Structures are given as structure tokens and as C-alpha cells.
């Protein structure tokens, strides 16, 4: 791989106990630019080849196990290379060479990921539009029934009023009896006086 055609190159490692990949180093591919090391990696342990972009890990440890992959940025998008898995055992080798395999075609050039993402988002948006249209149709359909039934009952009552002015309208009434409060007993006078006048 000619790294000079890429403007920027980064190497990442996704270890077995890590939730996200860690950036190991990043470098501009222009002449004379120095590599920047990240997340505790140092130039004494990790070296990058300026010609082909390969990295070399010196004095490999058990903690160096993981998935290694590079990302290049030729224009305004990132191209990820093929990942290499390294499993370090008890018989660790003194150095490990990892070469980037970046392809210009397929999923690594950003089009595969973005087209599948666009298809997924398009499907979600289409589904939401269909659901919204169904809900609007149902709301209009049910409110149309209510409006029509109100208009017919109003028209029906107007027709009945115009039929005969002497016609009596009957309505059902419902009366409830109020509970009567007990009246106070009045003291009756036991002495009665009769009087007569002429």
C-alpha cells in the first residue's frame, strides 16, 4: 500500500476486555511529519513504516492481544482496512509485524457502510410515514362519521319540528324523592279553652 496517497493514517487496537477500540497512533503521510502516539502507546514499543504503513510492536506482551486495524483518510471520509487478530500466548515473540490491507473497493471505502445505513434509515422513515398516513386516515374517517351522525340527527329534529305546530312533545321525567327530615315534635298544650262569641 502506498500511504502517500492517503492524507492521514491511524492504527487502532480493540482488546478482548475493551468496550471500544483504542487509537494506537496517527500520522500525516506527508514527508517529515512525526507519528502521534495515543492511549499509553509509545514510540519505543510501536513503530510505523513510512513506506507501506505497517506497524511493528516490539517486546510483545499478553496485553497486546486484540484486533488491530488501520484507518486512512484520503479525502473527507475514512477508509478502514482489513483487521488482523493477534493472540499473544505465554511464548510471546519478540516482535510482531502488522501490515495494513486497505482496499479501495467494497466495504472499506465507506460506500458499503453508508449505503446500508441509508437503506436502513430509508426503511424506518418509510414505515413511519405509512403509520402516520394510516392514523390520519382513521382519524378523518371516524370524525367524518361523527360529523355525519350529528348532521343527520340535527336534520331529523328540524324535520320533526316543522311537521305539526300543535303536536305535543313528550319527555320522560324521573323524580327522586327527597329524604324528609324528621320534624320537631311540638309540645301540645293539654288544657283546652273553648270560647264562643255571638
Is 123 in the same domain as 61?
Answer: no
Is 124 in the same domain as 147?
Answer: yes
CA pseudo-torsion sign 11, 14, 18, 20: positive
CA–chain centroid gap for 171, Å, is: 58
User: pTM (2 decimals)?
Assistant: 0.44
Parent domain of 21? 3-104
Is 22 in the same domain as 52?
Answer: yes
Instruction: Flag whether 184 is in a domain.
Output: no
Q: What are phi and psi of 156, to 5 degrees?
A: -65, -45
How many domains does the chain fold into?
2
Is 39 in the same domain as 124?
Answer: no
Is 132 in the same domain as 69?
Answer: no
Q: What letter does residue 34 receive in the DSSP assignment? A: P
Is 57 in the same domain as 12?
Answer: yes
Render each residue's pLDDT in the chain as its tens digit; 198 residues.
Answer: 455 566 778 888 888 888 888 888 888 776 667 888 888 888 788 887 777 778 788 878 788 888 888 888 777 777 777 777 888 776 655 545 555 554 433 333 344 445 677 788 889 999 999 999 999 999 988 876 665 555 555 555 555 555 666 666 677 777 777 766 666 666 666 666 667 676
Amino acid at each position: 500500500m502506498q500511504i502517500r496517497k492517503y492524507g492521514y493514517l491511524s492504527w487502532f487496537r480493540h482488546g478482548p476486555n475493551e468496550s471500544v477500540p483504542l487509537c494506537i497512533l496517527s500520522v500525516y503521510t506527508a514527508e517529515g511529519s512525526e507519528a502521534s502516539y495515543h492511549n499509553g502507546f509509545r514510540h519505543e514499543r510501536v513503530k510505523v513504516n513510512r513506506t507501506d504503513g505497517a506497524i511493528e510492536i516490539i517486546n510483545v506482551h499478553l496485553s497486546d492481544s486484540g484486533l488491530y486495524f488501520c484507518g486512512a483518510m484520503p479525502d473527507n471520509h475514512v477508509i478502514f482496512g482489513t483487521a488482523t487478530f493477534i493472540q499473544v500466548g505465554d511464548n510471546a515473540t519478540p516482535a510482531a509485524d502488522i501490515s495494513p490491507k486497505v482496499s479501495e473497493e467494497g466495504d472499506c471505502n465507506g460506500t458499503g457502510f453508508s449505503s446500508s445505513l441509508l437503506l436502513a434509515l430509508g426503511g424506518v422513515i418509510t414505515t413511519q410515514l405509512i403509520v402516520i398516513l394510516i392514523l390520519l386516515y382513521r382519524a378523518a374517517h371516524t370524525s367524518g362519521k361523527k360529523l355525519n351522525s350529528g348532521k343527520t340527527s340535527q336534520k331529523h329534529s328540524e324535520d320533526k319540528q316543522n311537521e305539526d305546530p300543535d303536536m305535543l312533545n313528550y319527555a320522560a321525567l324521573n323524580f327522586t324523592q327527597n329524604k324528609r327530615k324528621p320534624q320537631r315534635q311540638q309540645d301540645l298544650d293539654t288544657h283546652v279553652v273553648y270560647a264562643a262569641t255571638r
